[in-house]
Amino acid sequence: MEKQTGRKIKVLQFDHVGEYIDRFLQFSQNSSIGIQFTVGKYWVAKEMNRPLLKKVQYLLSNAQLDKLFWAEPLEYASHLINRLSSNVIRGKTSLNIWLGEVTQDYDFLQVFGCPAYFSVKDDKLNPRVKKFVFLAFKKNLKGYKLWDSENKKIVLSRYVIFDDTFVDTLKKTRFLTGRNNV
């Protein structure tokens, strides 16, 4: 983060986990970064991870994907949380506070698990457009990470058309089931 922002990290805070305390203290002595421990064992990590885990479960369920894909909705949920305003930081976003600039990649957002189509030129007799499942934004690359369920592989592409009817169906499902927690 120091390289990314040019700002120096002053203190890292960790849960009071016995097996790692010596390593953290040694790290602190070898660097100019201070270490603070929380009082409760695992409390901070659990409180931060619980809402993320619920979002991951919800996203996997909506996309009808196996739990083997847990990393993609976790990254996606984190991506969204860092771009949502928070009352704790006076209506700003985490990224705005950390980087000092307004987030501008909202146009790139898509619904996790929605159908995505793009042109595939693998054979002259096969269809030119194939259906995939949107998984994530690819870091440091203008493109999307897609799941090819037919060939069981992940594909990267920039030129993707997303199915807008999926969003309408999702809204209706959430309205009928009362699931509005993500």
pLDDT tens digit sequence for 50-93: 888 899 999 999 888 999 999 999 988 888 888 888 787 888 88
Q: What is the tens place of the pLDDT at every residue in 124-176?
A: 666 678 889 999 876 677 788 999 988 899 988 888 888 877 656 655 554 44
**Same structural domain, 145 and 56:** no
Q: Rounded to the nearest 5 degrees, what angle is found at the Cα of 174, between the Cα atoms of 168 and 180?
A: 120
Residue 49, in any domain of the structure? yes
The answer to whether 73 and 64 are in contact (CB under 8 A) is no
**Same structural domain, 10 and 73:** yes
Q: Domain boundary residue among 106, 132, 164?
A: 106
**Chain centroid to CA 94:** 14
Query: What pLDDT is attached to residue 169?
Result: 60
Instruction: Supply the range of the domain harboring residue 132.
Output: 107-177
CATH code of residue 166:
2.30.30
Residue 50, in any domain of the structure? yes
Q: Domain boundary residue among 106, 125, 140?
A: 106
Residue 182, in any domain of the structure? no
Phi, psi of 157 (to 5 degrees): -155, 145
**Same structural domain, 22 and 100:** yes
Give which of 62, 168, 155 is closest to 117, Cα–Cα: 155
**Same structural domain, 95 and 22:** yes
Examine the pLDDT at 101 and tell me if it is beyond 60.
yes
Tally of domains in the chain:
2
Tell me the whole-structure pTM to 2 decimals: 0.65
